[in-house]
Each structure stands twice: as C-alpha cells, then as structure tokens.
Structure 1
Amino acid sequence: MKVIHLSDLHIGKRVNEFSMIEDQEYILEEILKIIDSENPEVVMIAGDVYDKSVPPAEAVGLFDDFLFKLAKREVTVLIIAGNHDSVARLSFGSRIFDNSGVYISPIYDGNIKEVSLSDEYGSVNFYLLPFIKPVNVRQCFPEEEINSYTDAVRVAIENIDLNEDERNVLITHQFVTGAVRSDSEEVSVGGSDNVDGEVFKKFDYVALGHIHKPQKIMRDTIRYCGTPLKYSFSEASHQKSVTILEFGDKKEEVKIRMRELIPLRDLREIRGTYMEVTAKSFYENTNKEDYLHITLTDEENIVDAIGKLRTIYPNIMRIDYDNERTRTENKIDRASDVETKSPLELFEDFYKLQNNGEINSEQENYLVELIEKVWEGK
C-alpha cells in the first residue's frame, strides 16, 4: 500500500504581512502532480490544515478545491486537526465526507477515529488523533493521573483496541521530544508540550504534524514530513518535500522516500553592502521575485534602503543591518531559549533587559501566582 504523508499546510498564512495564498495554490497543484505520478491509495494530512482557527474565505475555498480534486482521483484522504485548526469547524460534515473517502478526525471524546484499509497483505489500520492537551484527556478519563502532554497521549493511545498482528499507523499532531523547531511554529515555554516518543512504540508508522522541518524522531518510522512551503527565515535552508511510504508485509520495514517540492517563489536570505546587492552580477542569475531577508553590512544607514531595493527585489520581507553599531545593541534572547527556560526565567530576562535591574521578591511572588493560574489549564 502506497501512502503520502503531508502536514502543516497552514492555508491562509501571512508571512511578514505577505499573503501566501498564491504560493499555496501553486504548491498544492505541485502536490497533485506528485499524487498523479505516484498513484497512492492514501493521502494523510497530519494537522494544521489552516493557519487560523477561523480561516479566511479564500483559504477555505482553496482547501475545498484541493479536497475536491483528491476525491476525483479516488484516493482515501485522512485528515486530523492541528493546534492551529478548530476541530469543530474542520470536522463539520465529516460523516457525509466519509462516503467520499475523506475521513476527518472529530473532537476528541476519549475515542480515536479508526479507518481500516486492505491490500494483499491484510489490513492497515489508521488512527486519527487530533492535537490534544492534558485537559482534553482528563475530561474523558478522570480516574487517570494526567499531568503532562506525554501522559495525555499515552492514555489516549492505551485506550485504542490495537491489533498488533496487523499494520497500524497513527496520525497525530504533537511536539515529540528531540524534534528541531522553526521560528514559524508556536513554541511552548519550558518545553511543557513535549511528548516522549516511547508512547508510539506499538505503531508501525507515526505520521506527525506540528514541526516544520522534515525529520525522523528516535526511528525512521516516527516522522515529521514538514511543511510544503517555507514559512520563516529560520527555514531558509530547508528542502521541502512530500513523504512517500510503501507498506509491505507486517515483518517488512516501511519504505520511505521524499519527492522534492519547488515553490513558485523561494524564501531566501542574502547579505552584503548596498552596492554589492544592487550589482547586476549579484542578482542576474537569481529569481528576483523570491521572498527575501536582506542584511546590509554598510556602516551607515542607506536612506530609504527598502524602497530602493524593491525596484530590484519587489518581495523583500525584511531588511536589517549587521555592522559595528548593531552588534553592540542589546537584543532579547532568541526564541530557541524558550524551550529550556521556565516562564519565570524568561520574564526575569526580559525585565532585566528592559529595566536594567532585577525583579524584587514581591514582584516574583506575584508572577509565580499568575503563571500558575495561566498554566493550570494545561
């Protein structure tokens, strides 16, 4: 059985105030071309179909068109909600869609939607687990001790009636410990949303969504396929792709390979002096329509630099300087520190940078109480 693993379409997303809808329409057509050439039986979309829980009409229309084209190809489509999606909105009409071979995860109620398909080797069972928080699972299993995201996912999985003699695939949308994040993802302070990959050990393949860089976790068959497009400059070096799986006999390893995706416009970073980046020899063999982050290394600011540069590069998203002056300015720690520091430590760092002093004990006690109130819902 051949299966395609997609996730994190983020339809309707804006990057640095640029709408990505035209780029998303283009890349979805490229994905359809890959589907036509590969002829899979199943397409999995592991969450974050939309970028907002209330997506704009053009985003809904684009995804509707994509689903319609998939249904015409008579491929089984399996969709779960991610943390950016509204489960209720995404799953509206899902029982009707079932008859068209489009299966969407419902709101989590203690049960996980199962779709069983067959090939010459028997059944392949797909389990559709949308993004969940501990509070969602506690409501369904109040007798269980659920204090973390790992506990929540573990309890949800333990309540599946899993036949381990058959091939089993989990589609889910969580941050698995050890995954490499990007700046365009929602980051949970202190790494509180981490899920230990050990909870997935009974599955033959785990189709993950949430992380934007394609990567495996612990083993080849626990995998993030990544986004089809670059959504931040921290992803500029990523090679986006479609993940293709081939399931044989239960005893055989799942065959995994990638098909490269080439965007309508790339998202790139360039640097140099103003004179260097405006020289024809610098840009003549590049796509000037790409989305760009330009770092100028001139010691003096260029008057109306972005306006002048847009006569050559119309889709500049960001411009900054790297020189002696900017290197001595105070900067707030990068988002990568968020995963390793507690909420209190992060606020203390911010307060010190802004006020050139430490918070006092009264302020600290107030913050501790406030943080506990905010996080107790998790």
Structure 2
Amino acid sequence: MKIMHLSDLHLGKNLNGFSLYEDQRHIHKQILQIAKEEAIDAVMIAGDVFDKSVPTNQAIQLFDEFLTSWAELHLPVFIISGNHDSAQRVAFGANLFKDNNIFISPIYDGKISHITLKDEHGNINFYLLPFIKPAIVRSYFPDEEITSYNQAVKVALKQISLNPNERNILIAHQFVTGAYTCDSEEIIVGGIDNVDAQLFQDFDYVALGHLHTPQNVLNEKIRYCGTLLKYSFSEANQEKTVTILNFPQKNKLTIYEKKLSFLHDMRKLKGSYAELTLKSNYEQTNTDDYLAITLTDEEDIPDAINRLRSIYPNIMQLTYDNLRTKTVQNIETTDIANLKTPLNLFEELYYKQNNQNLNDNQIDILQELIQDIWEEK
C-alpha cells in the first residue's frame, strides 16, 4: 500500500498582506497529479487544514474544491484537526463524507477513532488523533493525573488496543520532543506543549503535523512531512516535498519524497538599489516571486519599495543593512527551547521578594493556574 502524508495546508493564509489562494490551488493540482503518477492508495492530512479557527469563505471554498478532487480519485482520505483549526468546523459533515471515503476525525470525546483498510497482505489501521490539550483529555479522565501535554497524549493513547500483528498508523498534530522549528510555527514558550516521541513507539508509522519543516523524530517512522508551501522567509532555502510511504507488509516500510514547485517561490535578495535594478541581474530570474529585499545603500532610497515593485511586484519585506543600521542596538534573542518556564520565572521572583522558596502546595496551585492560562490561548 502506498500512502501520501500531508499536513498544515493552512488554507486561507495571508502572508504580509498577500493572499496565497492561487498558490494553494496551484500546489494542490500538483499533489493530485503526484497521487495519480505514484498510484497512491490513501492520503493522510495531519491537521491545520485552515489557517484560522474561523476560516474565510474563500478558505472554505478551497477546502471544498480539495475534498471534491480527492473524492473523484476514489482514494480514502484521512483528516484530523490541528491547533489552528476549529475541530467542530473541520468535522462538520463527517458522517456524510464517509460515503466518499473521506474520513474526518470527530471532536475528541475520550476515544480515538480508527478506520481499517485491507490489501493483499492484511489490515492496515489508521488512528485519528486530533490536536488535544490537557484540559480536554482531563475532562474525560478525571481520575488520571493530566497536567501536561505529554500526559494528555499518553492517557489518550492508552485507550487504543493495538494489534501488533497488523500495520498501525497514527495521525496526530502535536509538538514532539526532538523536532526543530521555524518562524512560521506557533510553539508555546517554555516548551510545556512538548510530547515525548517515545509514546509513539508501538506504531508502525506516526504521521505528524504542526511543524513546517520536513523531518524525522527519533527515527523515520515518526515524521513531520512539513508544509506544501513556504510560510516564512526562514523557510526560503527549504525544498518543499510530499512524503510517500510504501508499506507493503508489516516491518517493511520505505519512505520517499517528491519535490514540489511553486507558483511563486519565496526568496531573499540583498544588494544596492543600483544592483537590484540592473537588468542583467534580474532578467533571468522569476521577478514575480515573493521577496524579502535588503538594501545596502548608505542613504535611504525615496519610495524604494514602490520603485522596486515596478520590477519585483511581490515584495513582502524591505529592510536596510548598512553602517547606520548596524550601529542600532539590537535586543538579543534566545533560542525558544532554552527559555525558562513560567513556573521557573515565578519561583525566582517569589524567592527574591520573600527570601524563601515556594512550598509544594504553592507549586501545585501555580502549575494548575499556569496550565489553565496557556490552554485558554
């Protein structure tokens, strides 16, 4: 069985004031063509179908086009909701979609839905786990200790009874420990949304969504496929791909990627105004790409962005890098993974104010408050 792994469509996304509607339509046509050429048997979409929990009419229309196109191929499609999605909106009409082999995860209710497909080598089970928070899981398992995302996922997965003799795939949308991030992703400060990859070891493959860079976590069977488009200039040098699983039998999994091309690539340019407007420097390039331009001129160019847009119409960012800007004091940033947790910061403040540490009861109360605050975001 050959299975396509997709995630983080972010339908309806606007970037620096530019609509990506046509870019998303363009890339979807490519994916459909790849599915035909590769003789794909099933498709997984691991969350963040929409860019916002209340999607625009245009985003909903685009999703409708996507579903209709997949239904016409008569392929099973498995979809879960992500942290950007409203689980209720994504799951709307799920029972009707089943008739067209489109399976959408229901709102989490303490159970993880699963669908079983069969081929000549037996069953292959797809488990659909939408994005979950500790408070959601805790409401169904009040007797369990659930104060972190890791504990929430652990409790949720305990409800699954896996058949170790069959192929088992989990589709999930969480931040798994050991993965790396880029600027277009939303990661909670302090890392309290981390989920330990070891929780997934009993599955034959874990199709992850949430992070935008294609990558494996621990090993190739726990994988983020990444986004289909570039959603920040930190991704400018990335190749975007589609992940495909060839999974003929238990313990015989191979993974490969198919490269995607863009309607508009995302690139960075740097140079003086004279260099960037010299015809010989741009005539062999795609000037319609989405660009972040850095000018090196010592003096500001009057109305630079509009003058440059006569050549590069899709400039998203314009900055200067010269002696003047280099003397401006910059605030030093720290890797988000190394930031102190909210609890650590409060403990330090409490000690400085009271010259004593928090007691265990105070720490428990604080942890509950912090968790509740983060979950409401």
Q: Normalization by structure 2: what TM-score?
A: 0.91
1:376 aligned residue: 372
Q: Distance in 2 between matches of 1:310 and 1:372?
A: 51
Q: Distance in 1 between matches of 2:110 and 2:216?
A: 28
Q: Name the amino acid aligned to 1:301.
A: D
Q: Distance in 2 between matches of 1:35 and 1:88?
A: 28
Q: Name the amino acid aligned to 1:320.
A: T
Q: Would you say the 8 A contact 2:46–2:82 is kept in 1?
A: yes
What pairs up with 1:259-270 in 2 under 5 angstroms?
259-270=258-269
1:244-299 superposed Cα distances (whole Å, 9 cap, x missing partner): 111122132x1100011101000000101111111112111110000000011112
Q: Distance in 2 between matches of 1:142 and 1:372?
A: 14
1:124-181 superposed Cα distances (whole Å, 9 cap, x missing partner): 0000000011111111111111121111111111110111111100000011112111
Q: Distance in 1 between matches of 2:225 and 2:288?
A: 27
User: Could you say what secondary structure the match of 2:208 adopts?
Assistant: strand
Q: Name the amino acid aligned to 1:99.
A: D
- Cα separation, partners in 2 of 1:30 and 1:220, compared to 1, 3 Å: same
What pairs up with 1:134-283 in 2 under 5 angstroms?
134-252=134-252, 254-283=253-282
| Paired-residue identity, % | 54
1:89-136 superposed Cα distances (whole Å, 9 cap, x missing partner): 100111111121000001111100101001111100000000011111
User: Could you say what secondary structure the match of 1:117 adopts?
Assistant: strand
Q: Would you say the 8 A contact 2:147–2:371 is kept in 1?
A: no
User: Could you say what secondary structure the match of 1:24 adopts?
Assistant: helix
Q: Would you say the 8 A contact 1:343–1:371 is kept in 2?
A: no
User: Could you say what secondary structure the match of 2:127 adopts?
Assistant: strand
1:325 aligned residue: 324
2:299 aligned residue: 300
Q: Distance in 2 between matches of 1:370 and 1:118?
A: 49
Q: Distance in 2 between matches of 1:70 and 1:168?
A: 23
What pairs up with 1:60-139 in 2 under 5 angstroms?
60-139=60-139
Q: Distance in 1 between matches of 2:345 and 2:145?
A: 30
Choose the corresponding residue for 1:340, options 316, 334, 338: 338
Q: Distance in 1 between matches of 2:366 and 2:296?
A: 43
Q: Would you say the 8 A contact 2:80–2:105 is kept in 1?
A: yes
Q: Would you say the 8 A contact 1:9–1:48 is kept in 2?
A: yes
How many equivalent pairs are there?
Answer: 361
Q: Would you say the 8 A contact 1:205–1:221 is kept in 2?
A: yes
Q: Distance in 2 between matches of 1:331 and 1:72?
A: 54
Q: Would you say the 8 A contact 1:81–1:87 is kept in 2?
A: yes
Q: Structure 2: give runs of 5+ residues left out of the alignment.
A: 347-351, 355-362
Q: Distance in 1 between matches of 2:109 and 2:46?
A: 19
Q: Distance in 2 between matches of 1:235 and 1:298?
A: 26
Q: Structure 1: give runs of 5+ residues left out of the alignment.
A: 349-359, 363-367
Q: Distance in 2 between matches of 1:172 and 1:330?
A: 42
1:200 shift after superposition: 0.3
RMSD: 2.2
- Cα separation, partners in 2 of 1:361 and 1:317, compared to 1, 3 Å: farther
Q: Name the amino acid aligned to 2:126.
A: F
1:339 shift after superposition: 2.9
Q: Name the amino acid aligned to 1:279.
A: L
1:26-81 superposed Cα distances (whole Å, 9 cap, x missing partner): 11111111111112110000000000001001111111111111101100000000
Q: Name the amino acid aligned to 2:295.
A: L
- Cα separation, partners in 2 of 1:286 and 1:136, compared to 1, 3 Å: same
Q: Would you say the 8 A contact 2:200–2:206 is kept in 1?
A: yes
User: Could you say what secondary structure the match of 1:313 adopts?
Assistant: coil
- Cα separation, partners in 2 of 1:311 and 1:370, compared to 1, 3 Å: farther
Q: Distance in 2 between matches of 1:146 and 1:332?
A: 37
Q: Would you say the 8 A contact 1:187–1:339 is kept in 2?
A: no
Q: Distance in 2 between matches of 1:225 and 1:136?
A: 26
Q: Distance in 2 between matches of 1:370 and 1:158?
A: 28
